[in-house]
Amino acid sequence: MGNNMRGIDTPVRQIRRRVFKEVARLAYESTNLKDDMEALPYQIVDYDESEYWESVYRDRAIVRERIRLAMGMSLRPENRERPGHLTQGLEDSNIDEKYYEPPLMQVIPSACNACPVNKYEVTSSCMGCVAHPCQEVCPKGAISFVNGKSLIDQELCIKCGKCKQVCPYDAICHKERPCKAACGVDAIESDKLGRAVINSEKCVSCGQCMVGCPFGAIADKSQIFQLIRAMQNSSKVIAQVAPSFTGQYGPGVTPDMFKTALKELGFYAVYETAIGADMGCMAEAEHYVKEVATGKQAFALTSCCPSWSVMAKNLFPETIDKISNELTPMVATARVIKKEHPDAKVVFIGPCASKKLEASRRTVRSDVDFVITFEELAGMFEAKGIDLIKIEPTEVMQDATAAGRGYGVAGGVANAIANVIDKYYPGTEVHVEHAESLAECRKILLLAKAGKLNGCLIEGMACPGGCVAGAGTNIAVPQAAKQLMGFMAKAEKKIPDEGVGQDEVL
């Protein structure tokens, strides 16, 4: 399941987009915020019969929680006698600077379907055949015949799936909770009512559970409201854009049109985050040549995906010294911007949920004031009535090389570093490995820990497909990857010039 829904305009996506649009509109237009916010669930759910749940009241209850998260607020505890008003805590959010109160990813309990976690079930397609291979292969004798059809005893079943593999009619289905299947770090647990709960100790905020849930029961917090406040209060808010923006706003919207639209929205300037990637790939290439290729260090791990590096630190603490110390492209670019515009606020616009956490990390000052996703930005454009396909481009997007832009697609980071090594350190042999999806990342770290990948440069990406598959994207992954390749091809330079490093921004 997982990514099959990506790029389909489902009702879940439509509701999310509507909420972002309405929250952005509140920030732009509201003169009485508390009353307007209280009225919002009735505007969004303005029908009498629910299309999705048993009642329109449940629709509104869920939308209320979505609005709170989109405002950067926490969910209200559902188990208290009086959960408080929709606007409870609003004063703390009606500001122009705010990082998230963790946790970032939250399950909206009233929206969770309490799906079965892991279960094999015989469907009506069972023909009751004479061979009944399902019964023969079951190691626990959990399958019996009742009224001529197979029946699985759930108490005895050990979920091995052998019956499903041998059934000639494909009559046995495997029911698995989609959020749990999408989570590569086993962070999804259940509460006493069987609803999903995220264990924040394990969660690395990649957001794949959020895009995997067909009920839209998982959401992350947003800063669009505070960003708009900042843009209203200060003329200098500068955007840096992750390379995977290409194609996210429709196939006809060029990078130059996108940059022009951002200026129209009120950003003082627009930079490519790929500038920071260019710096990072030069620095990581040098590190590989001096440390890994010489055998001083067993292997090196790239650091640009925060979910991957947090997972490596959590599950494989012995790899901490192998994770690149270079600044991530987001942070390096923010430092460039702040150096040129010390009085500016910086917003990172990208595909990714976990960058929201990286920006608020205390250990390495990120210089990033806000993080919003492509999906949230779409809500801002809609609230302002900006139609990107009609934009006449007056700006040019030409800051970075193909190498830096390639960071947005799986394998792109490792390829960029390998290409730089080929050019500037000829004769150095490079061994590159890349893993996409947290489950694959775990496997590759196990191999590295066992000494099987010595001499390798290992790139990890939490999202299957790389950043183009991030939780905050708008289009299907293959389409996004294709658009990004085109954007790479248009770069004037293939790799950065010698001497482009991060020393100047550290």
Residue 199 falls inside a structural domain: yes
Residues 332 and 371 in one domain: yes
> What is the model's pLDDT at position 80?
46
Across 197-220, average pLDDT: 94
Confidence band, pLDDT 50/70/90 cuts, at residue 77:
low
Residue 88 falls inside a structural domain: no
Reference 120, options 99, 137, 96; nearest CA is 137
> What is the model's pLDDT at position 360?
83
CB burial of residue 50 (10 Å; 0-12, 13-18, 19+): middle
Cα 486 from Cα 246, distance rounded (Å): 9
Which tens digits make up the pLDDT trace of 152-207?
Answer: 999 999 999 999 999 999 999 999 999 999 999 999 999 999 999 999 999 999 99
Q: Is the peptide bond before 103 cis (omega within 30 degrees of 0)?
A: yes
Residue 86 falls inside a structural domain: no
Which tens digits make up the pLDDT trace of 235-275?
Answer: 799 999 999 999 999 989 999 999 999 999 999 999 999 99
- Two tokens, residue 463: 């999202």
Cα 422 from Cα 434, distance rounded (Å): 18
> What is the model's pLDDT at position 234?
81
Residues 167 and 31 in one domain: no
Cα 238 from Cα 60, distance rounded (Å): 36
Residue 245 falls inside a structural domain: yes
Residue 447 falls inside a structural domain: yes
> What is the model's pLDDT at position 52?
85
> What is the model's pLDDT at position 182?
93
Does 362 have pLDDT greater than 90? no
For the chain, the domain total comes to: 3
Confidence band, pLDDT 50/70/90 cuts, at residue 505:
very low
Q: Give the torsion sign (CA, 109, 462, 247, 274).
A: positive
Domain of 125: which CATH number? 3.30.70.20
Q: In one letter, which amino acid is 117?
A: V
Neighbouring residues of 230: CB distance < 8 A, sequence distance ≥ 6: 96, 97, 237, 345, 369, 370
- Two tokens, residue 203: 């969660």
Residues 199 and 275 in one domain: no
Across 134-142, average pLDDT: 96
Residues 348 and 305 in one domain: yes
Strands 269-272 and 431-436: unpaired
Q: Are 307 and 206 in contact (CB under 8 A)?
A: yes
Residues 376 and 499 in one domain: yes
Residue 84 falls inside a structural domain: no
Neighbouring residues of 64: CB distance < 8 A, sequence distance ≥ 6: 41, 86
Residue 434 falls inside a structural domain: yes
Residues 283 and 423 in one domain: yes
Residues 110 and 123 in one domain: no
Of 46-50, 253-257, 373-377, 448-452, which range is least confident? Answer: 46-50
Q: Angle at the Cα of 332 (from 329 to 335), degrees rounded to 5?
A: 145
SS (H, E, C) 422-472: HHHCCCCCCEEEEEECHHHHHHHHHHHHCCCCCCEEEEEECCCCCHHHCCC
Residues 355 and 332 in one domain: yes
Across 222-246, average pLDDT: 93
Confidence band, pLDDT 50/70/90 cuts, at residue 132:
very high
Residues 252 and 392 in one domain: yes
Residue 482 falls inside a structural domain: yes
Which tens digits make up the pLDDT trace of 475-492?
Answer: 999 999 999 999 999 999
Neighbouring residues of 468: CB distance < 8 A, sequence distance ≥ 6: 244, 351, 408, 409, 477, 480, 481, 484
Residues 392 and 454 in one domain: yes
Across 371-382, average pLDDT: 97
Tally: H helices and E strands in the chain:
19, 15
Please, what is the average pLDDT of the chain? 90
Which structural domain range is residue 339 located in? Answer: 236-505
**In terms of pTM, does the model score above 0.75?**
yes
Residues 122 and 106 in one domain: no
Cα 501 from Cα 326, distance rounded (Å): 10
Which tens digits make up the pLDDT trace of 294-351?
Answer: 999 999 998 889 999 999 999 999 888 898 888 899 999 999 999 999 999 999 999 9
Cα 370 from Cα 348, distance rounded (Å): 6
> What is the model's pLDDT at position 96?
54
Residues 35 and 170 in one domain: no
Alpha helix positions (H), 294-352: 306-315, 329-340
